Structure formats: C-alpha cells, structure tokens
Amino acid sequence: MNEHITDRDEHENKSCFYYLRTYMLKEIFTWRLFKTIVLGQGLSVLICGTGITSQYLANDFSVNTPMLQSFINYTLLFLVYVPLLSFRRASYCDLLETNVKPAIQSKQLGLLSHGVLLLQDSAHPYTAKNIKACLEKPISLLDCFVIPVLMALSWFILKTRFRIVHYVAVCICLLGAGTMVGADVQAGRDQGSGTNILLGDVLVLGGAALYAVSNVCQEYTVKNLSQEEFLGMVGLFGTFFSGIQMAILECTEIAKITWNWQVALLFTGYAICMFGLYNCMPLVIKIASATAVNLSLLTADLFSLFFGFVLFQYKLLQKAVSAHPDAVEKTTEDIMKLKRINPDTNPQLGISLQASLLQIIGYRNLIVEVEKLRRESYDSENPEHEKMLLKLWSSLRPDTALKGRITKQWCEIGFQGDDPKTDFRGMGLLGLYNLVKMDKLEWEKKKFDKAIGYSFAIVGINITELAYSLLVSGALKTHLYNVAPEAPVLAHFQQTFSNIMENHCDPFNRVVCNGVPEKKSVILVAEDHGQHVLNVLQNFREENIFFDFYIRVKGEMIPCHRCVLAACSDFFRAMFEVNMRERDDGSVTLSNLSPKAVKAFLDFAYTGKMEINEENVEMFFQLSSFLQVSNLAEACSDFLIRTIDLANCLQLLSISEGYGSTRLYHRALDFVVHHFHTLVKSSDFLEMNVAILEKCLEADELNVPDEETVLKAVLIWTKHDLAKRQKFFPQLVKLVRLHQMPEGSLETFSQSENLLNSNVDCLKTIKEVTRSLRELSGLFPDARPSTTEKYIFVHKTEENSEIRHTFCYNIETDRWQELPETHISDLSGSSLVSFGEKLFVTGGCKGNCCRAVRLHIAEPFHDATHETWCYCPVQNQFFLVSPMKKPRTMHTSVMALEKVYVIGGKTRGTRNIKSLLDVEYYNPLSKEWQSVSPLPRGIYYPEASACNTVIYVLGSEVEIADIFNPSLDCFFRYDADSDQWSELVAEFGQFFHATLVKAVPVNNTLYICDLSTYKVYSFCPDTCVWKGEGSFECAGFNAGAIGIADKIYILGGDYAPDEITDEVQVYHSNRSEWEEVSPMPRALTEFHCQVMQFNRYRDPWKLNIET
C-alpha cells in the first residue's frame, strides 16, 4: 500500500516538473523572440557596415566627414518618404498642414523635431566617429550604460514594468560601466593622461545617455504614429539640421576630398547601410522595444572586432609596439604593406618607423631592466656585490685603505652610517650601479681631490631615485629618444643619471636639454685678488699718496683713504653717505679713542690682519663697538669666549653688556648657569649684578644639587649688602622653585631666617607653597634637571589583561629595574603620558577589544570610555580623576604648557565611525578639562610631540590601507599659546608608513625615527623640510621611542610575530652617533614608554635600584 502511494507521488512530481519545464520553455522561446533576435542581428550587421566604410574613408583616403555622411542619409529618407506621404495625402501642403505642424506642437514629436532625432547619429555608439576608437576605449562601455538608461526612461515615459531579474541585470551593467571607467582612468594615470581619459569617458557616457533618450522617443513615436510619418519627419528635419551643421563645421574638410570611384562607392555603401538601419530600426522597436533592440545590438562589438582583425589588422598594430627587437624589421614591412606605402618611393619613412618602434620597445625593456636592478637588494654575502662596493671605495679613495667592512670611513664618501648596505634599501643594486658608473668620471674625482662639501653616495642614491621616477613616469621618453639612435639601454639611463648629478654639482652650472648642452661660460675667480688690492692700498699708505681723509685724535692727524674706511667700518660709511660736515671737511675728530687704537684699526683695515691678546682685547672691543667693525667685534668675542672661566665669567658678562655682544653674553651666561653651584662659593658671586642673578634663577639649566642651594644663594647674596639689596629679596624668592623643596626644609628656612619671617610678601609666598605641596604634591613639572633623577618608564599589559610588565631604566646608571608591585591598569587603546612625578592614563575600550593595533582597529564595536586615571609612583596609588568630555580610544596624549592634551582617536561606536576632531586638555592643578580648537581634519594613528609651546601631530588620513600600513600623509602644527591649528606640507623626501614612524622631541626639535628604513630625520620649521640625521643598526616594528635631553632611545619591538627584541639603542643628536645600552629585562612590543623624573629626595625607585 505504501509503495503504491510512493510511486503515485513520484509520478505526480515528475508530471509537475515536466509541465513547468515545458510551459516555461514555451513561454520563453517564442516566435516573437526569434524574430527580435534575427532582426537585431541584422541591425548589428548594418551598424558594423557603417563603421567599416567610415574606417576605410578615414584610413585610406583621410576623409573624416560625419556630417556629410549623415546629410546623405537624411536626404535619402527625405526623398523617399516625403514624396510617398505627399502622394498619400494628395498634396505636399496638406502634408505640412496635417502632420508637420501638429507634430511640432505636440510634446513628443516637437522634442524629436528639434534635434533629438539627430542624436541618433551624433550620439550613436557605432557611427564612424566611435568605431575608429575601438582599440583605444571599450565600446562596451556605451552598451553597459545605454541599457540601464533605456530601462529607466521606459519605466518613467512608456510605463513599462520589469521583473527583479531585470533590475539585477541593470546593476551588473552599471557595475561594468563603472569598472571600465575606473580601468580607463588608471591606465590614463599610468600614461600621464588620466584627466583626458576621464573626460573622454564622461563624454562617451553622455553620448550613450542621449542615444537612449532618442531610442525611447523613437519607440514612443513609432508606436503612436505610422512608420512612414516617422521616417518622413526624420528625413525632413534631419536634412535641414545636418545641412546647417555640415555647412558650418565641415566645409573645409569637404573641399579637401579627392573624389574617385572608390570614395564614391564607400559613401554609397555607408548611405545604404544607414538607410537600411533607419528603415529597420522602427520596425524592430515596434515589434519588441528599444531595450530589447539594444540588447540584440551587443553583438555589433563582436562583428566590429572580427572585421577589424580581418580588414584592418588591429592585432598587428597592437603588437607592433611590443614586438621583439629582432622582429621590428618584419613588423615595419607588415605595417607599410598594410598602409599601402611603397618603400621604394618613400624609403626614409620605413627607416624612421623602424627606429621609432625600436625606441618604444627599448624604453619598455629599459624600464623592466631598471626595475629588476632596483628590486634586487644589496647582499653583503654576495661576493659580486661586495666587489662593486670595494671598487667604488678604491676609485674614490685610492690612497686610503679601508679599516674594515663596517667602519666610519664610509661616511667620507657620503654614506650615512657604518654599513653602506642600509643606504641601498630604497634603490637596491640600481643605486650601486649608478655610483660605480659615476666614479669613472674624471670631473668627479677632481672634485673629491678638492674636498667638495656634499655627500656623494647618498646624493647619488637620491638622484637615482629621481631618475628612476622620471623613467617609469614616462618623463624621460623625449630625452632618451633624442640621445638613443635606436633602442635605449641601461647605459643611456646611467648617462642621464650622470648628467643630473653633474648639473647638481657642476660649479659652472651647465644645463642639458634633450642631451644638448646649452652655451657654456667660464667665470674667472682670482683667489688672491682681494689680498692684491689690500697690498696696493697698503703701499699707497706707506708711500703717503692718494690720501683723501684725516682722523684727528688727541692732537695727532692720521692720514687715510675714504674707500678703506667705508669698506671696513659702518660708522665711516654712514658718515660719507649722509651729508655730514666731516665728509666735506675731509677730517673727523675722535675724542674717545687713543692714537694707538686708531692706528691699530687702520693696520687691520689695510692688511686684514690683527693680533688679539689679553692686553689689547678690551681696547679692540671698545674700538669695534664704536666704529661698528663687525668682523673685529666677532673676533674679540671669540677670543674672550675661549678664555671664560670662574674667575672672569662675571666680568665678561659686564663687558658683553657694555659693548653689545649678544654672542659673548649668552656664552658667558651659560657658563655661569652651568657652574652656579661652584660660583656661589666664590667672592665674585657676592658682586653679581641683580639682573644676572635673576637670569640664573629663571634658567631651567641652573646647575645645583637641590633647590635649597638656590634659596641659600639668594640669602647669601642679599645679606652681603642688605641695605641696597633687601628691596630685591621678595622678587628673588619668587624665582626660587620653593614647591620643589621638601616641606620640612621650607618650614626650617622660614623659622630660622629673619629675612624670610620678617617680610610679609615672603611669608605669604611660603604659605601658598606649603598649601600647594600638601594638595598638589608631584604635579609640578618645572623641576630643574640637575635636581632630578631621570627614568624611562615601560609598561605593557598582555592580551589576557592579567599579566603586566613594568620596568624603569635609570639614565645615569644605565640600569633596568622591574617594578612588580606597580598598581597600574590600562585599557586597550588607551594613552599614557607623564606629568611632573605622575602618570595619566586616558580613555581606551572597556570591552574585550584586542590590544594589538592591527586587531584593535578591526573590532566591530569600540566601547570607548572617557575615564582618566592618575598613577603616583611615590605613593604607588592608582586613582580616578576628572573624566574627559569625549570617550576616546586609539588617541594620543602629550604634555605642553603644564597641561595634558588629548588628540584624535575614535569615540564610542561601530568600527566605521570617523576619527574625532575634538581636542581637549586637562589641567592637573585645577583638575578641569577644557576644549580647544579642533583638528583641521580627521587623523588615524596619531603621534604627538611637544616642542616648547608647539605640538606637532603626525598620522594618516585613512585607517586601513590595502597592506594595512597607511601612509604618513597628515602633519599638523598646534600653537598652544594662540590655540591655532595649521596643516603643514612637509617635504618628507620619501614614503613613510604612519604605523612605522615614531615622533620624539629633542632639545625642542622634532625628530622622527622610521622603523622600516632605520633612519632618523629632524624637522626644520622654517623650511618645512625633513633632514636626514643618520641611520641606526636595526629596530623592530612597534618599538618604543623616547627623547631625553640630546638623546633618542629606541626600545624593543618585533621583527616578526615570534621574534621580539629587548634591545635598546641610543642616538646622540649632538654628534650623530648610535650606541647600544643595557637591554630591557624582557623583550616587548607595542608597549607604553614615558620619561619620568623625580626630585632626588622623593625618588621612589632609587632605593629599589640600590638594593
């Protein structure tokens, strides 16, 4: 029973399936579909015929007259259908009265009559104007765009309704059109013509849209009027408008046509094909629709391509520019044969064509060869590479032997470090090849003999990069085609590199254009000419001739020459330029100088020589100041600077102020500041000027063991002359950083010193400081460096958020110490910054977001927090403070103007949320957050560094790139004083990755460390240019970087996911040298690191290290 039922069910299922399949097939494959396809292919053949005839006219007879061709077609339509309609309507006037006028008045045919019908020619994608461009731009772009426009217009105008599958097809068409436009634009950029390509695509798409409009209007018309009326109106108005266009645009071209039976036959063929197309198109549209017709016309592309290969040898022309050099001669013969050019009557054309093809092919092959050399890295294990490098050294330094493979000697020929291979990373072996080629030039060796002042190796590598960029961009085509008689080869590229190098360094500043040097000239510079003139003038003086001026001093008349006085002294020059009495009298009286000083000055003016010693330096200083002899004043300053010591530093400060020598003043003041602790013990300190003392007290660099020493010095100095100096005492006390003293010491001073406890202002100051020490201890970042102990603080929380690593590194002792009892917690994406003797942790994600940057940014949701935590190492406490105004994660923080600034990052939300523009700062003293001016635009992976009152922020404008490492393309400058942002366009000189760059401040100068190329750059704010400072041996990705005084520390990092390092390197910016110091206790990557400094009496980590 069950089996019977099952069989019956199966039979019913099969019957249903058979019925559905048969019904659907019958419904799809109808006679109407067959007719539409056959008629559509007929239209495709006619369209292809118009293209072939137009191509023949353009190629073989140089005839390009689309308006004339259209005029012939419309004239045929006019001559056939207008008389036919006239015959049917009895008279031509009745035709105009009953058809044309109402048609013009109607909305649909009026639009048609005013030119839309003509767009079928001008916007038709398969006319002669477009078939010619078949190789340069895909005609399918038109088909892809026409069909969606047709469907949209049919939906709105003709009220046609489509199925879902039709809309899916439309989306595919639009995707294809967009992809083709993108491919065209990218190809155009590679060829240096992206804008023109894009403009061409836009015009083609516009033509496709107009063609769709004409098709819909045509469908609307033929379904409401008869075919004869439609074609008659097209012929009438088409003849009128195309005739006007032809008369305006093509009268000159038509006059140039050389008529013969072949040209006439081609025009006739075009007219027949177009006439047939216009007759068949309305019929097919009436049977189906404009959309169905255009779907059938897609095969016209295939027909055009087929006929192009057969008739016009498209494949031959395409392969001509990519043929092998050995096949160029055969290719040239084929092209000449294809173009029907007799080589015997025009032999030079074949030679020129062959040479041009060789140059084009050679240029392409040269790019491949150069790229291969650039991609091949320098390998110190490869003996051939080492041989070339040693050859370079031997050629440039033939008399000097290398002390080793890795040595500082490489810097003598312009490399940036001990090992030249690090400088070849960008250009590979190509840079070495060019340098070896360059050292063969005789002029370069001569320049090295004269110790020229530029770095040959690194300049050569940078110019190699320039020449490479010019080559691959196509900018060198014209030059190489001019200098290479046939195919350009590597030697031509190297010669171009040599020309650029020569122009860069040539003292004659020669310019080479397309291989032809401009007119040369030689500038004669007699090195001893100046001395010769001085000798002649001195002879005039000795012979007592040509004197024209006298200096009267202490009753003595000293003769001299005006020109010598004016050349050496701004005082005399101003006297002779201005209408002064002395100029006309021919003499001047100098009452404040001695005859000895004036004669010494004249000896210097006539000879350029002067002996400065301790006995006469002050006399010369006075003389140079009065007579404004700048070079003499500089010489006196330099002499005195070399003599600065504890015995004369205060005296030199007074001299520098008296004679206005700024340089001597600053050098003497720096000496006093750095030796203040020793100077306080001398008797000279008691005579120090109050202004100098104030300058010393204001200086951060004041060298004292503690702040108590500063207060004692103020007391000693005041007591030395209490009557005169007591009025300065309150102001001097305010310059002492009392809040950096222990509270107990401050109370002892206030009780034991009468000067303090008897002065109301001083007592008030001490009371305020005592209160601030109790409330804000550790939050004063102005401790003098000499009174503090400096550390690098390192902290990392592992992914499980349970394991933490915390270390500190003592800068002075070069020792690391683990801090296992540190109570600090940081969320993923948080930022850490030091302030005074405390650390502030801002923001982060509360959820289970990954801590690694690459994984953190990919999280679907960021539960960012606005919490701010403070960690006090002295008390080992971690506590909440006032929250930020905006929740943040993946931001940066920096300390400037005694405030903590937070910049960038993302707020709470999904992954695609944009980066924050809001910037705010936290004042630890007032415990408040304040908003400031926002960022100019969004930034990801921000790196911030503060240089005085300026904050520099670097990062990327995109969050995720194709290979993750986004480029460093954002560089902002924030003036914290004026609360103004500006966007800098820094000339980086090379490509940087935002995640592989660390920004650090050193002596108020911004430095960046590129972890991918192991190089350090400094930023010049005046020129907005990065300057290469040197290279370090190696560094892992995600390393930490810290700037302290004049040093940069690079810590840890990873070379691979399973290769993490504990190395620590130090860069000394004052001497451009690197050294390794003690490694970290544990290898780390992606961690927090900050500089911490404590007053020595409060140092919580010193005991741990000593223990």
**pLDDT-derived band at 1013, boundaries 50, 70, 90:** confident
> 374 versus 714: which is more confidently predicted?
714
What is the per-residue pLDDT for 358?
77
**Read out DSSP for 16-68?**
HHHHHHHHHHHHHS-HHHHHHHHHHHHHHHHHHHHHHHHHHHHHHH----HHH
Q: What was the pLDDT predicted at 133? A: 38
Q: Which residues contact 265 (CB under 8 A, 6 or more apart)?
A: none
Residue 362, pLDDT > 70, answer yes
Q: Which of 193-202, 244-253, 850-859 has the lowest mean pLDDT?
A: 193-202
**pLDDT confidence of residue 530:** 79
Contact of 201 with 33, CB cutoff 8 Å: no
CA distance 393 to 409: 10
Show Cβ contacts of residue 441 under 8 Å, excluding neighbours closer than 6 positions.
498, 502
C-alpha to C-alpha distance for 71 and 56, rounded to whole angstroms: 19
pLDDT tens profile 483-512 = 777 788 888 888 888 877 766 554 434 444
Average pLDDT over residues 207-231: 70
Q: Do 537 and 617 sit in the same domain of this protein?
A: yes
Find the mean pLDDT for residues 155-171: 65
d(CA 309, CA 311): 6
**Residue 430 predicted with pLDDT over 90:** no
Largest CA distance in the chain: 152
Q: What pLDDT is stored for residue 28 in this prediction?
A: 53
Confidence of residue 1023 (pLDDT cuts 50, 70, 90): confident
Is 701 a domain residue? Answer: no
Asked whether the predicted pLDDT for residue 262 surpasses 60, the reply is: yes
Name residues whose C-beta falls within 8 Å of residue 944's C-beta, 6 or more positions apart in sequence: 892, 893, 894, 901, 903, 951, 952, 953, 999
Choosing from 608, 630, 652, the residue where a domain stops is 630
Among 248-252, 530-534, 781-785, 1101-1105, which is the least confidently predicted range? Answer: 1101-1105
Q: Is the pLDDT of residue 929 over 80?
A: yes
The least confident of 91-100, 534-543, 544-553 is 91-100
Of 510, 504, 564, nearest to 533 by C-alpha is 564
Residue type, position 148, single letter = P
Check: CB of residue 741 under 8 Å from CB of residue 711: yes
- Give yes or no: residues 497 and 554 share one domain: no
Categorize the per-residue pLDDT at 111 as very low, low, confident or very high, splitting at 50, 70 and 90. very low
SS3 category, 149 = helix
- pLDDT tens digits, one per residue of 977-987: 999 999 887 66
Counted domains in the chain: 4
Contact between 587 and 557 under an 8 Å Cβ cutoff? The reply is: yes
Mark whether 616 and 479 lie in a shared domain: no
Please write the tens of the pLDDT for every residue from 597-630: 999 999 999 988 889 998 888 899 888 989 999 8
CA 141 to chain centre: 35
228 pLDDT band (50/70/90 cuts)? confident
More confident residue, 180 or 665: 665
Token pair for residue 237?
């108005």
**Domain with 870 in it:** 787-995+1086-1106
The DSSP code sequence of 350-387 is HHHHHHHHHHHHHHHHHHHHHHHHHHS---TT-HHHHH
Closest CA to 1014 of 1030, 990, 995, 991: 1030
- Percent of the chain at pLDDT above 90? 25
In a domain, 683, yes or no: no
Is the pTM above the cut of 0.85? no
Same domain? 491 vs 568: no
Close Cβ partners of 877 (under 8 Å, ≥ 6 residues apart) = 823, 871
Is 882 inside a domain boundary?
yes
pLDDT at 532 over 90: no
With a cut of 90, say whether residue 923 has pLDDT above it: yes
Model confidence at 127: pLDDT above 90: no
Question: In this structure, what token pair is assigned to residue 1095?
Answer: 């007053």
CA–CA dist 368, 434 (Å, integer): 16
What letter does residue 1051 receive in the DSSP assignment? E
pLDDT at 1074 over 80: yes
Q: Residue 519 corresponds to which tokens in the numbers above?
A: 């007119």
Q: Which residues pair with 834 in a beta bridge?
A: 839
> Region 637-655: what's the mean pLDDT?
90
**What is the pLDDT at residue 552?**
92
The better pLDDT of the pair 1017, 1025 is held by 1017
Pair (825, 945) in one structural domain: yes
Residues 797 and 828 in one domain: yes
How many Å apart are CA 821 and CA 873, to the nearest integer?
10
Mean pLDDT of the region 555-567: 91
Comparing C-alpha atoms, which of 840, 821, 818 is closest to residue 830? 840
420 with 541, same domain: the answer is: no
b/e map of 556-591 (b: 16 or more CB within 10 Å)?
A: eebebbbebbbebbebbeebeeeeeebbeeeebebe
**Residue 397 is assigned to a structural domain of this protein:** yes
Q: Which of 216, 42, 225 is nearest to 123 (CA)?
A: 216
Q: How far is residue 416's CA from residue 504's CA, in Å, rounded to a whole number?
A: 19
pLDDT score for 306: 61
User: Are β-strands 861-862 and 868-872 bridged in parallel, bridged antiparallel, or unpaired?
Assistant: unpaired
Distances in Å between the Cα of 1010 and the Cα atoms of 360, 791, 864, 892, 931 are 39, 24, 30, 18, 32
CATH of residue 599:
3.30.710.10
One-letter identity of residue 851: R
Instruction: Assess whether pLDDT exceeds 50 at residue 797.
Output: yes
**434-443 mean pLDDT:** 64
In order of 653, 725, 727, 751, the CA distances from 731 in angstroms are 22, 11, 8, 19
Q: Is residue 727 part of a domain?
A: no
What's the pLDDT score for residue 702? 93
Question: What is the pLDDT averaged over residues 511-517?
Answer: 42
Looking up tokens 């340098």 gives 435
Residues 118 and 219 in one domain: yes
For residue 932, what pLDDT is reported?
96
Confidence label for 664 from pLDDT (cuts 50, 70 and 90) = very high
pLDDT of residue 1080 exceeding 80: yes
Q: What is the pLDDT of residue 54?
A: 79
Regarding whether 281 and 170 lie in a shared domain, the answer is yes
Instruction: Tell the burial category of 257 from Cβ atoms under 10 Å away from its Cβ (0-12, 13-18, 19+).
Output: middle
Which of 273-282, 533-542, 551-560, 1088-1097 shows the lowest mean pLDDT across its residues? 273-282
Does 96 share its domain with 137? yes
Domain end call among 630, 658, 674? 630
587 in a structural domain: yes
Report the range out of 59-73, 607-621, 1012-1026 with the highest average pLDDT.
Answer: 607-621
Q: How far is CA 188 from CA 136, 200, 467, in A?
A: 11, 11, 21
Q: What average pLDDT does this structure show over 864-880?
A: 92
- 68 falls in which pLDDT band (50, 70, 90)? confident
Quickly count: other Cβ atoms within 10 Å of residue 860's Cβ.
Answer: 8
Q: What local confidence, expressed as pLDDT, does residue 164 receive?
A: 65
Distances (CA, A) of 409 to 58, 427, 428, 451, 1074: 67, 22, 21, 15, 15
Per-residue model confidence (pLDDT) at position 130: 37
What residues have CB less than 8 Å from 872, skipping those under 6 apart? 778, 837, 838, 878, 879
Helix (H, G, I), strand (E, B) or coil at 238: helix
Report the C-alpha gap between 552 and 588 in whole angstroms.
Answer: 6
Considering the domain boundaries, does residue 523 fall inside one? no
Question: Using CA atoms, how far apart are residues 838 and 102, in angstroms rounded to an integer?
Answer: 90
- pLDDT, average across residues 61-68: 80
892 vs 999: CA distance, rounded Å: 12
State mean pLDDT over 451-470: 76
pLDDT band at 14 (very low <50, low <70, confident <90, very high): very low
* Whole-number Å distance between alpha carbons of 628 and 621: 10
Could you tell me the pLDDT band of residue 921, with boundaries at 50, 70 and 90? very high
Q: Is the pLDDT of residue 1035 over 70?
A: yes
- CA within 13 Å, CB half, 159: 0
Specify the range with the lowest mean pLDDT, choosing from 18-27, 46-55, 150-159.
Answer: 18-27
Looking at per-residue confidence, does 440 or 751 come out higher? 751
**What's the whole-number average pLDDT of the chain?**
78
Per-residue pLDDT, 300? 62
Residue positions counted in the chain: 1107
The fraction of the chain above a pLDDT of 70, given in percent, is 75
**pLDDT score of 580:** 78
Residue 660 confidence (pLDDT): 83
Question: Is 20 buried (19+), middle (13-18) or exposed (0-12) by CB count in 10 A?
Answer: exposed
Alpha-carbon span 237 to 949, nearest angstrom: 75
Mean pLDDT in residue range 1022-1030: 78
Q: How confident is the model at residue 718 (pLDDT cuts 50, 70, 90)?
A: very high
What would the two tokens of residue 58 be?
């353009």
pLDDT digits (tens, 9 = 90+) for 301-316: 666 656 655 554 444 4
Task: Compute the distance between CA of residue 684 and CA of residue 908 in angstroms, rounded to an integer.
Answer: 64
Average pLDDT over residues 228-243: 80
- Using one digit for the tens of pLDDT, what is the confidence trace for 379-410? 888 888 888 888 888 888 877 888 777 888 88
User: What φ, ψ does residue 441 adopt, rounded to 5°?
Assistant: -75, 130
How far is the C-alpha of 311 from the C-alpha of 56, rounded, in Å? 9
Confidence of residue 92 (pLDDT cuts 50, 70, 90): very low
Order across the sheet with 919-923: list the strands. 892-896, 899-903, 919-923, 928-932
Residue 132 corresponds to which tokens in the numbers above?
A: 């010619």
Residue 21 lies in a domain: no
Rounded Cα distance, 309 and 306, in Å: 5
Interatomic CA distance for residues 868 and 902, integer angstroms: 11
> Do residues 295 and 405 both lie within one domain?
no
Q: What angle do CA 449, 453, 458 make, to 5 degrees?
A: 100
Query: Distance between CA 616 and CA 596 in Å, rounded?
Result: 10
Task: Name the band, by pLDDT with cuts 50, 70 and 90, for residue 256.
Answer: confident
pLDDT above 90 (res 283): no
Q: What share of residues in the chain are helix, strand, coil (percent, to 5)?
A: 55, 15, 30
The reported pLDDT for the residue numbered 672 is 94
In Å, how far are 421, 795, 834, 1035, 1048 from 839, measured between CA atoms? 41, 11, 4, 26, 21
Q: Are residues 511 and 539 in the same domain?
A: no
Residue 685's pLDDT band (boundaries 50, 70, 90)?
Answer: very high
